[in-house]
Structure 1
């Protein structure tokens, strides 16, 4: 299940604009009137292969395949046995067929899975139904999207949702699964849900916060399936495995299986990681969730960081703890937040796949630099982050970085370059944020960071004059 964590939204709560002043990204009066260009979409994927040793991958595979996000253990492996068919129903967003075709193409090429689309209403192995967000969250309030076994429609799920028939632990093999995605959300959110929920519909059901190079992680930094994820799916559907195998039986097969399909991983693994305590998970979810006061959420972030420090972690869980603490301190503890962001970025850059996490932090730091009147520093940070974000196919983050670059170039007097960056950002923003209102709101929020914008905004909007 993909969850909606408020703390991972790209908005900054507030940024200091220098000594004695503060500029909120929600400041009224700054508006952007550029006409919106055509939506930009990603076409070619360039996933990096995993760099980790096979014993470590085997350990992760077992923990992903024999557990659930709730912490509940599964006693047997389940997967589809035979070709997998996928159908889309409901009010299908215009961008969804393109993104699904790209995803299935990658699954065939990179994971060797026999998977294809069929037209509804023909029965499918996996049915993807697009439902109004309001209807979907009336049943699962915290879900951005979710997947359920043994049903093929939202109506069917409503009728059995409290019964054992939709309990993953009761499956012997997978035959029929449904994915529910909001029909009224941004193209990128639809794409992200397709990746994460289809991966869980056919593969592992668990998420592990320690994974820095995977969508099987509730931190939501990776938005598309990574090279590691494709290796996990390739392993799941290898002929060596089948539904019904126990953890011990799978563990006995994995060394030879991984040696064959991932020869680059034939080396020793580091020591076993400490298990992730449920109280740390609860604290992280409280800190970055949508419920509760800012005071309670900040307390939760502090508690998560204290647990991470006590555990001695130096992996993605410590990076995420620092990130959460920094996010919660943005409003009135700028210096401490900057320090936490810097340390989180240092940790993430040492981890496989951690480049995208560091790019998120570069965006935050670039916003700090812009609001402090340091446009050259902001440009340098965006230049480092943009190539990483493009490879990760995160249009929302890419658009935000380009907006910050545009405002920074404007401050330096480079009007033509500022306008080009702004128009480029708007094309990606249409995919990343969706509606015209959301796109214009994000552009205005970035503009409100810029020193001097609030003074000029009431007189005239921000238009085409750079």
Structure 2
């Protein structure tokens, strides 16, 4: 899926942030999903621009499905992998970036990076545009709440919907609403440059969704994130954006053409989190891996964790 992964360093007094475009070790208690908030006003009228986007992305989904892509089976006999493949895919997805910072914005080009993950609880807030009708909001909220609970079980890290003290904001907005999103983006993620914000407000159709994740300085310890998902997406493409952007916002920031079965791959073969992706999240949130680790330090730990997941010696 075309939704970029980017990592930038800001001035020392500010923060660092990253952007992305895609068997439980510990079970933690997660707070129940808040009830859907009442919508005071009726949904906004569908504009011509939004209607055109809805038709376009419906055709995108139809074409992908016709090609046998956007799989939801998590992988099978046709996508075998072992502990060595898992370890290499993890290192490529978690310790490399698809974009680098240059000239006040991002440029495409894979570069090595540091390991990133959350150490504080992830409190996810949903922000729907007025164009999203109440029934669609309720469906999205329920699905995201269920997915977050699954991620919490996989990682052993507290991840859940929240109404207050939100540190991971997801905007689900139409074309017109996204183009006017600059003030809300700046409020949700202080430190974004005008070019960063314009990457969202002027998002091309080839970018389906994106996420920024922020850590203080160059620590790799995330403490804030913001994602943007197009309200015009049909059902499966919408769920695919939720699955990948949230997972990438947890620290699996890169996409690799070698990662299979995986959603961290721009070939669109899989729409939803796969078995290998779940294993990568378990590795990422193992206490043996610390934010800020470099490849050489992380590699032996990752290889050991991968062997353990496949029943080998630790």
Q: CA separation of 1:221/1:7 partners in 2, compared to 1, >3 Å: closer, same or farther?
A: farther
* Correspondences of 1:48-67 after superposition (within 5 Å): 51-67=80-96
Quote the residue 2:8 is aligned against.
Answer: none
What displacement does 1:183 show? Answer: 2.3
What displacement does 1:170 show? Answer: 5.1
Q: Does 1:250 align with 2:314?
A: no
What displacement does 1:128 show? Answer: 0.6
Quote the residue 1:100 is aligned against.
Answer: 144
Q: Does 1:175 align with 2:223?
A: yes
* Correspondences of 1:21-170 after superposition (within 5 Å): 47=74, 51-69=80-98, 70-91=108-129, 93-94=136-137, 95-119=139-163, 122-134=164-176, 135=178, 138-141=201-204, 142-150=206-214
Quote the residue 1:10 is aligned against.
Answer: 62
Q: Does 1:228 align with 2:276?
A: yes
What displacement does 1:116 show? Answer: 1.1
Quote the residue 2:69 is aligned against.
Answer: none
Contact 1:96–1:187 under 8 Å retained in 2: no
- Say which SS state the counterpart of residue 60 (structure 1) adopts: helix
What displacement does 1:85 show? Answer: 1.4
The two structures, once aligned, show a CA RMSD in angstroms of 3.3
What displacement does 1:51 show? Answer: 4.7
Q: CA separation of 1:146/1:176 partners in 2, compared to 1, >3 Å: closer, same or farther?
A: same
CA distance in 1, matches of 2:128, 2:59: 30
CA distance in 2, matches of 1:169, 1:74: 17
Quote the residue 2:12 is aligned against.
Answer: none
- Cα shift readout 1:330-370 (whole Å, capped 9, x = no counterpart): xxxxxxxxxxxxxxxxxxxxxxxxxxxxxxxxxxxxxxxxx
CA distance in 1, matches of 2:280, 2:160: 19
What displacement does 1:73 show? Answer: 1.6
- Structure 1 unaligned blocks of 5 or more: 13-44, 151-164, 267-466
- Say which SS state the counterpart of residue 143 (structure 1) adopts: coil
CA distance in 2, matches of 1:196, 1:171: 23
What displacement does 1:256 show? Answer: 2.2
What displacement does 1:102 show? Answer: 2.1
TM-score, L = length of structure 1:
0.42
Q: CA separation of 1:239/1:96 partners in 2, compared to 1, >3 Å: closer, same or farther?
A: same
- Cα shift readout 1:264-294 (whole Å, capped 9, x = no counterpart): 467xxxxxxxxxxxxxxxxxxxxxxxxxxxx
TM-score, L = length of structure 2:
0.60
CA distance in 2, matches of 1:109, 1:226: 15
CA distance in 1, matches of 2:237, 2:60: 13
Contact 2:73–2:274 under 8 Å retained in 1: no
Q: CA separation of 1:265/1:187 partners in 2, compared to 1, >3 Å: closer, same or farther?
A: farther
**Structure (1/2) with the larger strand percentage:** 2
Quote the residue 1:311 is aligned against.
Answer: none
Q: CA separation of 1:216/1:46 partners in 2, compared to 1, >3 Å: closer, same or farther?
A: closer
Q: CA separation of 1:7/1:211 partners in 2, compared to 1, >3 Å: closer, same or farther?
A: farther
What displacement does 1:182 show? Answer: 1.5
Q: CA separation of 1:5/1:207 partners in 2, compared to 1, >3 Å: closer, same or farther?
A: farther
* Correspondences of 1:309-320 after superposition (within 5 Å): none
**Structure (1/2) with the larger helix percentage:** 1
What displacement does 1:172 show? Answer: 3.3
What displacement does 1:5 show? Answer: 9.3
Task: Find 2:254's aligned residue among 177, 198, 206.
Answer: 206
What displacement does 1:211 show? Answer: 2.3
Higher RCO, Cα 8 Å, sep 6+? 2
- Say which SS state the counterpart of residue 177 (structure 1) adopts: strand
Q: CA separation of 1:235/1:129 partners in 2, compared to 1, >3 Å: closer, same or farther?
A: same
- Say which SS state the counterpart of residue 230 (structure 1) adopts: helix
The count of corresponding residues between Structure 1 and Structure 2 is 217
CA distance in 2, matches of 1:139, 1:170: 28
* Correspondences of 1:222-301 after superposition (within 5 Å): 222-260=270-308, 262-264=309-311
- Say which SS state the counterpart of residue 72 (structure 1) adopts: strand
Q: CA separation of 1:221/1:233 partners in 2, compared to 1, >3 Å: closer, same or farther?
A: same
- Say which SS state the counterpart of residue 169 (structure 2) adopts: strand
